[in-house]
Structure 1
Amino acid sequence: MLAHARLRAAVLGLVVVGLAVGLVADALGYRQFTIVAWDGPAAIVALVVAIDFIAGLWRGTLGVDLIALLAIAASIALGQHLAGVIVAAMVASGAALEEYAGARARRELAALVSRTPVIAHRTRDGVIVDIAIAAVAIGDELIIKPGEVVPVDGAVVQGPAILDESALTGEPLPVTRAVDQTVRSGVLNAGGPFVLRGTATAAHSTFEAIVRLVRSAERERPPMARLADRWAVAFLAVTLASCGAVWLWTGEAMRALAILVVATPCPLILATPVALICGISRAAGRGVIIKGGGALERLSRANVALFDKTGTLTTGLPRMTGVEVLEGFAAAAVLHDAASLEQLSQHAVAVAITAAGAAASALTIPIDVAETPGSGLAGLIGGRRVMVGGAGLLRANGIMPPDEGSAVAQAQAAAAAAWVAIDDRVAGVILLTDTERPEAMTTVQALRAAGFTRLVMLTGDRAGPAERIGDHLGLDAVFAALSPADKIARVRAERAYGMTMMIGDGINDAPALAAADIGVAMGARGAAAAAEAADVVLMVDRIDRIAEAIAIARRARRIALQSITVGMGLSFIAMAVAAFGYLPPVLGALLQEVIDIMVILNALRALGGDRADAAPGSMPGVRA
């Protein structure tokens, strides 16, 4: 990819130098040197265009570059060397601009995908050695430090392990894996260090399997033709028919050449990539990385939005929703004691309970606190023995939670629950949920206003929490408990409703992002695999930026279409003038340059904003 970009830039540089050197040599009277300086670079550009054209035919596409190829070849054959090199300069600059668009997006994404783990900490005979992930063998014992991503599938040897599996499963709250329980690669260590025994190599672990799904989905996605090539067949037919008719009518090859030169589709070759690059640059300024002009075009045409839940429509952070108490206890007192105890824990659930308790009343400093990692805490609050944690913690201490009743039903329906015991009696249960993003509702409304006909949630989370959020946001459908393969199947099914845009942040979303017509990753806190699979990456942790990105993409595409229609209209007029013999080839090439400057200046408007971009809810559609 990098070598290809450098080749394009080198060809453009050669053409510019050749044009300048030829002009100087011609002014000094060195005619033969002038011809070599102009024809050499023009011939190289013609060869590159010919190779690209043949490759396009092999892929089943017919591009407008054929006109440029014929114009350069005919100019050299008929001795119109200056016209040939001018056309070559326009073609080379257009190709270099297209390469620049993709390269810019790839450079800005490199820092994001670098978060994928590359080393593992192997422990053997009391010595810790850092090794490459590819060198991890089955049976190796690895130390997983706090905040690190688990590099391979394995089982806990020393723990327990407190894991954030939201990137892999969609479940928003940390889970605990005890000794001998399995852990999948790609999840985050949200607790203290633990020791993992590898049960698979990196190449055969969960993360790598999902990457293979991504690659498979990418291969199956229908290829999108360049915006300019949609005009190719009709324009080619008109141009070649005009040249042939004029040549047969007048017998003058120069008139046919003049038509070819002014018909060189530079408004398509130049204005289109300029408008798309400007759109990409403007989106990057708003914290949205769009990986190339093709991705921008698909984004502008999407009308079916598919959302992941955890970390996309929600914050991925737990929040207390209520306290369900048993007979003889008051909710305020239960929350106070639980929050006071949880002050000494760094677990995500503990932080949420502490915040809710502190907002309700002043907390008490606990004493004699003992924490069972991944299970809960116990301690004394004002002389009362308090215990907060999972039902298993209470049972392990001889306290039996109820099997039925309102508290049990509420706990089962909640995203997470923490049971509270006071003086060896079950006092109640604290209910938690994942918090809906503040901007989620406005984003949904903005997409509706933009003409999206279907909004759907695809999540690995349980149906209950997912449906509550889906109902609140007014989504058209909710599909829960989906595996990565299930998400791909659902994305393919949703194509029946229109062009699909999938938005997600987790590793489990990566295959679906690749399978959709346009994939959007929440890259600020999301998984590197998702960012790599996506066509668009939101570098700011705000989902409403996708509404802005769509507005920018639609405006850039609209401006590109304006540039094409105006530029090609002027080219058709110039072709008519050339057909009657009033426009020689060199003058035609210069006139084409003037047209190019006009359409490029118009295309540069995509860098700016208009009122349509000001509010996410105001996004005019583009019909083409």
Structure 2
Amino acid sequence: MKFVIKHEIRGRIRFHVAQKNMSYREADILQYYLDSMKHVSSAKVNHSTCDAVVCYEGSREVMITALRRFHYETADVPESYLENSGRQVNEEYKEKLVDKVLMRCINRMFLPMPIANTLTAIRSVKYITNGLKTLANRKIEVPVLDGTAIGVSVFRGDFQTAGSIMFLLGIGEILEEWTHKKSVGDLARSMSLNIGKVWLKKDGQEVQVSAESIHVDDEIVIHVGNVIPFDGTVVDGDAMVNQASMTGEPLPVHKQADSYVYAGTVLEEGELCIRVRQVGGSSRYEKVVTMIEESEKLKSSLESKASHLADKLVPYTLLGTAATYLFTRNVTKALSVLMVDFSCALKLAMPISVLSAIRQASKSSITVKGGKFLEAMAEADTIVFDKTGTLTKAAPRVVDVVSFCNESSDELLRIAACLEEHFPHSMARAVVDAASEKNLVHEEVHSKVSYIVAHGISTTVEGRKTIIGSYHFVFEDEGCVVPEGMQEKFDALPEEYSHLYMAVEGRLVAVICIEDPIRDEAADVIRTLKELGFAKVVMMTGDSERTACAIARKVGVDEYYSEVLPEDKASYVERAKAEGHKVIMIGDGINDSPALSAADIGIAISDGAEIAREIADITVGADNLNELITLRKISTALTRRIRRNYRTIVGFNTGLIVLGVAGVIQPTTSALMHNTSTLAIGLHSMKDLVL
């Protein structure tokens, strides 16, 4: 790429791309290329000027070389990113806004008065018609008020006031629609699929490949807890699929041969082999957009209250207008009431406030699936943490493999990795990573693998039943025993580590010791959450009492529960809710899913199981618990803003009505001040919240 550096300081370059015009697509390609560079901290591409600003760390020469290497044709950019970047939408609405203001200025400055008045009268027909349609449907809502105010102004010959009202209403509509589409688009992009690898069935074997290499009619295998990455037809298998993210159905749906499955749904139980029918990356995005826009259940009660209150106040405004005229016989004073209403600002400011808060949360890698969850976050008083992958780091590591048979530790680790690689859990990843570090090739030597949630894995290896999992699963459920003469070795296992037990034909063959370090920030975050109003912080884990007690003491939770099953976590949440508490559940695994569903708000952390992220109401993408503090602050700040907006709207508009009835200000002034204040409140609501 040829470019000219226009300005430069240490760590920041502003350059101009040497081309006459830059399309939206080219700007998005360059944006993706810059953002994907490891040493680039931020980048912004302006397609209209062909300029870009890059903030980077490290060597200037490396940055310059990377820019020189760039070519639109060779840049590897996902098509779904280009289709749904949002750049074109933003530019379209900017142009609409500028056009609206320019046309207003031209009409006022250059058009003869008769022509300008005629155009105003023509434009007023739309608002008057909408008002009449609303009345025909036996409703007295905002369109009635707008149509009445504009119609009365035109009837009196006050075309300037009518024009001002329509101009400000038009600006408000553009801003509201723009903010809504941008916020929904940002949210949908953060919720869209981001699946890098899938299991391709080829020649009877499962091979892990890049999702981008999958084509229509390929057969892929979906294991329990994973997101189904493509639309397709079930070829083999029997499973329960959670389709809540697509259809809102609360219960999983049974799928078997010849059933159709959808991208973005989650395999909750069983296993499926599907034949891919659609690989387009945009289908999932579009479905998510539709889900967000159509799902009324995602609105906060404050947002819904504002919308309903706005419509309910319309009849009172009309009655106030009529009453003022009856008592004063003064049309001007009556119009002062008509020109001012509370509904416009309420309907504009509240949704924009909520969507702006969701957008601000997304900047911290927090995906919020609806305004009602922010409201619930602000009101919550109890927070329940899963331990593994949540309070502890999401990347535990294997520190030792203790053999209880004739096989070497490496061979036992190889077999364990072969079983664990199919399942999305931090402990499983630790085993697979440990085998990878030792270059242990773990080919598929087992039969079909069965995953027992919160317990472990069962399969057959070379004709022998092999299981791996928790102490409870291996020794109590399956009745396995420690080999003769090995009890002393078993009792000497280091207590500071978590243990995975592997048994073959009912006899223990290995114990994998896994270090599960506490997150550095965990204790500080829990202390801060208590300061922010949480009355009770609880930890729940399937680990032993000894491990749970040690972790609970270090992080400072109020209560902890050890050796719990998924249903135990969900039961605790249900009990706390029944006692009147507002409960948040935070987890990352398949076994957390029931509790995430049961809680007032389910929060999935980092790169946990897909089913947890899909079921959760909020997903924290950053691998840092400090984002929970950010989320709480955003939620409480949003509540404060909405309540402040209520007071401002009611107070200011009441003042305008009083001044109008008293004859201090004219209807034109009332309308101008009312609409200007509505626009100002809407613009203020678009700003990031002060945390």
TM-score, scaled relative to structure 2: 0.56
Whether 1:542 and 2:624 are equivalent positions in the alignment is: yes
Residue 416 of structure 1, aligned match among 459, 479, 499: 499
Residue 514 of structure 2, aligned match among 432, 436, 448: 432
Q: What amino acid sits opposite 1:559 in the alignment? A: R
Matching residue of 2:688: 607
SS in structure 1 at match of 2:565: coil
> What is the alpha-carbon distance in structure 2 between the residues aligned to residue 11 and residue 48 of structure 1?
23
Question: Is the alpha carbon distance of 1:339 and 1:289 closer, same or farther for their aligned partners in structure 2, counting shifts above 3 Å?
Answer: same
Residue 114 of structure 1, aligned match among 193, 206, 212: 193
Specify which structure has the bigger relative contact order, considering alpha-carbon pairs within 8 angstroms and separated by 6 or more residues: 1
Matching residue of 1:305: 383
SS in structure 2 at match of 1:548: helix
Question: Is the alpha carbon distance of 1:267 and 1:183 closer, same or farther for their aligned partners in structure 2, counting shifts above 3 Å?
Answer: closer
Over aligned residues, Cα RMSD in angstroms?
Answer: 6.3
Question: Is the alpha carbon distance of 1:49 and 1:307 closer, same or farther for their aligned partners in structure 2, counting shifts above 3 Å?
Answer: farther
Matching residue of 2:325: 247
Whether 1:525 and 2:610 are equivalent positions in the alignment is: no
> What is the alpha-carbon distance in structure 1 between the residues aligned to residue 548 and residue 578 of structure 2?
22
Q: Deviations over 1:574-623 (max 9, x none)?
A: 1111112333322222222443465457546x5364xxx4xxxxxxxxxx
Asked if the contact 1:456–1:476 (Cα under 8 Å) also holds between the matched residues in 2, the reply is yes
> What is the alpha-carbon distance in structure 2 between the residues aligned to residue 313 and residue 448 of structure 1?
16
Asked if the contact 1:306–1:502 (Cα under 8 Å) also holds between the matched residues in 2, the reply is yes
Whether 1:570 and 2:652 are equivalent positions in the alignment is: yes
Question: Is the alpha carbon distance of 1:102 and 1:590 closer, same or farther for their aligned partners in structure 2, counting shifts above 3 Å?
Answer: closer
Question: Is the alpha carbon distance of 1:438 and 1:233 closer, same or farther for their aligned partners in structure 2, counting shifts above 3 Å?
Answer: same
Report the alpha carbon displacement of residue 248 of structure 1 after superposing the two structures with TM: 0.9
Residue 581 of structure 1, aligned match among 642, 660, 663: 663
> What is the alpha-carbon distance in structure 2 between the residues aligned to residue 539 and residue 366 of structure 1?
30
Question: Is the alpha carbon distance of 1:102 and 1:307 closer, same or farther for their aligned partners in structure 2, counting shifts above 3 Å?
Answer: farther
Matching residue of 2:266: 207
Matching residue of 1:224: 301
Question: Is the alpha carbon distance of 1:529 and 1:431 closer, same or farther for their aligned partners in structure 2, counting shifts above 3 Å?
Answer: closer
> What is the alpha-carbon distance in structure 1 between the residues aligned to residue 90 and residue 334 of structure 2?
29
Q: What amino acid sits opposite 1:552 in the alignment? A: I
Matching residue of 2:565: 481
Q: Deviations over 1:309-347 (max 9, x none)?
A: 443333343356999999xxxxxxxxxx96999799978
> What is the alpha-carbon distance in structure 2 between the residues aligned to residue 583 and residue 558 of structure 1?
32
Report the alpha carbon displacement of residue 482 of structure 1 after superposing the two structures with TM: 1.8
Report the alpha carbon displacement of residue 474 of structure 1 after superposing the two structures with TM: 1.8
Q: Please say which of residues 442-451 and 495-504 is displaced more in the overlay.
A: 495-504
Asked if the contact 1:97–1:273 (Cα under 8 Å) also holds between the matched residues in 2, the reply is no
> What is the alpha-carbon distance in structure 1 between the residues aligned to residue 199 and residue 438 of structure 2?
38
Q: What amino acid sits opposite 2:566 in the alignment? A: L
Asked if the contact 2:384–2:537 (Cα under 8 Å) also holds between the matched residues in 1, the reply is yes
Count of residue pairs brought into register by the alignment: 518
> What is the alpha-carbon distance in structure 2 between the residues aligned to residue 86 and residue 274 of structure 1?
23
Matching residue of 1:400: 483
Matching residue of 1:283: 361
SS in structure 1 at match of 2:396: strand
Matching residue of 2:451: none
Q: Deviations over 1:468-517 (max 9, x none)?
A: 45565424464931259x84994596265344434343466567656654
SS in structure 2 at match of 1:317: coil
Q: Structure 2 unaligned segments of length 5 or more: list them.
A: 1-83, 231-235, 243-254, 270-283, 285-290, 421-425, 447-456, 458-467, 475-480
Question: Is the alpha carbon distance of 1:369 and 1:11 closer, same or farther for their aligned partners in structure 2, counting shifts above 3 Å?
Answer: closer
Question: Is the alpha carbon distance of 1:252 and 1:295 closer, same or farther for their aligned partners in structure 2, counting shifts above 3 Å?
Answer: farther
Percent identity between matched residues is 22
Matching residue of 2:454: none
Matching residue of 2:396: 318
Matching residue of 1:193: none
Asked if the contact 2:337–2:661 (Cα under 8 Å) also holds between the matched residues in 1, the reply is yes
Q: Please say which of residues 509-518 and 440-449 is displaced more in the overlay.
A: 509-518
Report the alpha carbon displacement of residue 545 of structure 1 after superposing the two structures with TM: 0.2
> What is the alpha-carbon distance in structure 2 between the residues aligned to residue 265 and residue 102 of structure 1?
18
Q: Please say which of residues 254-263 and 428-437 is displaced more in the overlay.
A: 428-437
Report the alpha carbon displacement of residue 571 of structure 1 after superposing the two structures with TM: 1.7
Asked if the contact 1:239–1:260 (Cα under 8 Å) also holds between the matched residues in 2, the reply is yes
Q: Structure 1 unaligned segments of length 5 or more: list them.
A: 153-179, 187-197, 327-336, 357-364, 376-388, 393-397, 614-624
Q: What amino acid sits opposite 2:321 in the alignment? A: C
What is the 5 A alignment of 1:65-464? 67-68=145-146, 70-108=148-186, 109-110=188-189, 113-115=192-194, 121-123=200-202, 203=260, 207-208=266-267, 224-226=301-303, 228-229=306-307, 232=310, 235-236=313-314, 239-291=317-369, 293-319=371-397, 400=483, 407=490, 415-417=498-500, 431-432=513-514, 434-456=516-538, 461=542, 464=545
SS in structure 2 at match of 1:305: strand
Asked if the contact 2:402–2:511 (Cα under 8 Å) also holds between the matched residues in 1, the reply is yes
SS in structure 1 at match of 2:339: helix
TM-score, scaled relative to structure 1: 0.60
Asked if the contact 1:563–1:600 (Cα under 8 Å) also holds between the matched residues in 2, the reply is no
Asked if the contact 1:274–1:603 (Cα under 8 Å) also holds between the matched residues in 2, the reply is yes
